[in-house]
Structure 1
Amino acid sequence: MAKTPKRLKAAYEGINRDTFYALDEAVKAIKSRATAKFDETIELSMNLGIDPRHADQMVRGVVELPNGTGKTVRVAVFAKGEKAAEAQAAGADVVGAEDLMEIVQGGTIDFDRCIATPDMMGLVGRLGKVLGPRGLMPNPKLGTVTMNVAEAVRAAKGGQVQFRAEKAGIVHAGVGKASFSEDALVENIKAFVDAINRAKPTGAKGTYVKKVSLSSTMGPGVKLDLASLA
Structure 2
Amino acid sequence: MAHVGKRTKAARASFEGKSMLSVEDAVALVKGAANAKFDETVEVALNLGVDPRHADQMVRGVVNLPNGTGKTVRVAVFARGAKADEAKEAGADIVGAEDLMEIVQGGKIEFDRCIATPDMMPIVGRLGKVLGPRNLMPNPKVGTVTMDVAAAVKAAKGGEVQFRAEKAGIIHAGVGKASFDGAKLAENIRALVDAVQKAKPAGAKGTYMKKVSISSTMGPGVSIDLASATGN
Instruction: Tell me whether the two structures share a fold, i.e. TM-score over 0.5.
Output: yes
Aligned counterpart, 1:214: 214
- Report the secondary structure of 1:21's partner residue: coil
8 Å contact kept, 1:87–1:153 = yes
The CA distance in 2 between the partners of 1:11 and 1:186, in whole Å, is 21
Percent of matched pairs sharing the same residue:
70
State the Cα distance separating 1:177 from its structure 2 match: 0.4
Aligned counterpart, 1:10: 9
Aligned counterpart, 2:96: 96
Task: Give the alignment's Cα RMSD to 1 decimal.
Answer: 1.5
8 Å contact kept, 1:12–1:220 = no
- 1:23-34 to 2 correspondence within 5 Å? 23-34=23-34
8 Å contact kept, 2:47–2:209 = yes
The CA distance in 2 between the partners of 1:38 and 1:113, in whole Å, is 23
State the Cα distance separating 1:29 from its structure 2 match: 1.0
- 1:189-208 to 2 correspondence within 5 Å? 189-208=189-208
The CA distance in 2 between the partners of 1:139 and 1:12, in whole Å, is 41
The structure-2 alpha-carbon separation of the partners of 1:93 and 1:11, relative to structure 1 and needing over 3 Å to count, comes to farther
State the Cα distance separating 1:51 from its structure 2 match: 0.9
The CA distance in 2 between the partners of 1:204 and 1:102, in whole Å, is 40
What TM-score comes out, normalization by structure 2 length? 0.94
8 Å contact kept, 1:213–1:224 = yes
Do residues 186 (structure 1) and 186 (structure 2) align?
Answer: yes
The CA distance in 1 between the partners of 2:215 and 2:17, in whole Å, is 12
The CA distance in 2 between the partners of 1:155 and 1:53, in whole Å, is 29
Task: Name the amino acid aligned to 1:49.
Answer: G
The CA distance in 2 between the partners of 1:45 and 1:130, in whole Å, is 25
- Where in structure 1 are there 5+ consecutive unaligned residues? none
8 Å contact kept, 2:79–2:117 = yes
Aligned counterpart, 1:146: 146
Aligned counterpart, 1:166: 166
The CA distance in 2 between the partners of 1:175 and 1:130, in whole Å, is 26
State the Cα distance separating 1:17 from its structure 2 match: 8.1
What TM-score comes out, normalization by structure 1 length? 0.95
The structure-2 alpha-carbon separation of the partners of 1:94 and 1:188, relative to structure 1 and needing over 3 Å to count, comes to same
Task: Name the amino acid aligned to 2:172.
Answer: H
1:188-215 CA-to-partner distances (Å, cap 9, x unmatched) read: 0010000000000111111111111111
State the Cα distance separating 1:81 from its structure 2 match: 0.5
State the Cα distance separating 1:11 from its structure 2 match: 6.3
Tell me how many residue pairs correspond in the alignment. Answer: 228
Do residues 60 (structure 1) and 80 (structure 2) align?
Answer: no
- Report the secondary structure of 2:5's partner residue: helix
- Report the secondary structure of 2:36's partner residue: coil
State the Cα distance separating 1:16 from its structure 2 match: 4.0
Task: Name the amino acid aligned to 1:190.
Answer: R
State the Cα distance separating 1:32 from its structure 2 match: 1.7
State the Cα distance separating 1:13 from its structure 2 match: 3.6
- Where in structure 2 are there 5+ consecutive unaligned residues? none
